[in-house]
Amino acid sequence: MSITSHPILTQDGSKSIKSDRFGLPYHSEFGAITESMYIYIDHGLKAVSPKEKTVRIFEMGLGTGLNLALSIQHRAEHQHLHYECVEAYPLSWPQVQALDYDQHLSASAYQALKAVHEGPSETPIHVTEEVSVIKHLTQIETMKLPSDLDVIYFDAFGPNSQAEPWSKPVLKACFEALKPGGIWVTFSVQGALKRRLRGIGFELRIQPGPPGKREMIQAVKQGNKVSGDVSLEAQK
């Protein structure tokens, strides 16, 4: 299923897409790359020690794949990356190509972006020797999340626009899918969301936001390790 959408130019000179289905841009109009770098790379990927041999990331809402490409480009040298993501309304490669991210990304990150958009779902895509990606083309509400994650990038449309991805069962599954010390990051600081995250057991670190946003959430899992895959169905 593909959603109707059209490119927009954001204030840092990088492009994004506006979804006609949701009536919303995929990134901040103050700067798509600036926002992705600040929230997901600086407060997600970079919160993991560069000494970790492998980083395991899950992204809610692959969209254009900008967070994926920036993660490949900015991981520590020789660090392995296992990236899984979910997308309910996948974009086609020509839609992503029209955003000219080749002008902002390294050649290898851009090649990886193309390989993931054109590649199969539900099966590992080895984009380099050190990076593997699995994309799940479904709704997060119905999937089994991967386990032992270091970081979750939670990049759904905002909770006032779509409630389901931000529901307690989904957030609880995120909590259980993280390693102890694992980090869940997002752009939203909605009050009800903060209360829900604290109720599940996350420790919230409210950070200054990227341009155009006062704050953002970096939520840390404290507690005992939970191993094995986590089924959302089992938690309803």
Ligand X SMILES: C[S@@+](CC[C@H](N)C(=O)[O-])C[C@H]1O[C@@H](n2cnc3c(N)ncnc32)[C@H](O)[C@@H]1O
Binding site for ligand X (CB under 6 A): 26, 36, 61, 63-64, 66-67, 86-89, 139-141, 155-157, 162, 164-165
User: In the complex, what is the shortest distance from the CB of residue 66 to ligand X, in angstroms, rounded to a whole number?
Assistant: 4
Using alpha carbons, list the distances in angstroms from residue 218 to 40, 66, 115: 10, 19, 30
Return the CA Rg of the chain: 16
Residue 230 corresponds to which tokens in the numbers above?
A: 């986590």
User: In the complex, what is the shortest distance from the CB of residue 70 to ligand X, in angstroms, rounded to a whole number?
Assistant: 9
User: In the complex, what is the shortest distance from the CB of residue 207 to ligand X, in angstroms, rounded to a whole number?
Assistant: 18
- In 20-162 the beta strands, taken as DSSP E runs, fall at 24-25, 54-60, 80-86, 125-126, 131-136, 144-145, 149-154
Q: What is the largest CA-CA distance in the chain?
A: 45
Give the nearer residue to ligand X in terms of CB position, either 3 or 181.
3
Give the nearer residue to ligand X in terms of CB position, either 4 or 162.
162
Find residue 208's DSSP bridge partners.
215
Pairwise CA distance, residues 78 & 211, whole Å: 31
Cβ–Cβ under 8 Å, residues 180 and 148: no
Give the nearer residue to ligand X in terms of CB position, either 125 or 140.
140
Pairwise CA distance, residues 219 & 44, whole Å: 10
Give the nearer residue to ligand X in terms of CB position, either 38 or 157.
157
User: In the complex, what is the shortest distance from the CB of residue 113 to ligand X, in angstroms, rounded to a whole number?
Assistant: 10
Give the nearer residue to ligand X in terms of CB position, either 11 or 49.
11
Choose among 67, 75, 122, 71: nearest CA to 96. Answer: 67
User: In the complex, what is the shortest distance from the CB of residue 44 to ligand X, in angstroms, rounded to a whole number?
Assistant: 12
